[in-house]
Amino acid sequence: MSAARHPYEDLIDHLTSTTPLGQGEAARVVADVLAYFSETTEEFVRRRHGELKRHGFTNDEIFPRIAAELGARRVAAPKLSLRQLRRIIYG
């Protein structure tokens, strides 16, 4: 019986061939990056607000900064029902 392949095995292989990372380390990096970019918009806003507050920023400084960051950030897609998916396709 063959072992199941990691869904991002090609990326892990790429990282191990272009960096000093081993297989396990590369797999952890990939998992960390995927987790980072799987945040919803709401999770991202809450996390960044807390981080910036801890660094002494005021809300007047924080909210414009988060708004600018959101424009360049990839966030997880919202969960869509089957009906919503169909409406995207068929209107």
pLDDT in tens, 76-89: 667 778 888 778 77
pLDDT at 2 over 80: no
Say how far apart CA 15 and CA 4 lie, in whole Å: 19
Q: What is the pLDDT of residue 78?
A: 73
The pTM of this model reads 0.62
Helix or strand (DSSP H, E) at 68: helix 59-72
Q: What is the pLDDT of residue 86?
A: 79
Say how far apart CA 26 and CA 33 lie, in whole Å: 11
Say how far apart CA 12 and CA 7 lie, in whole Å: 10
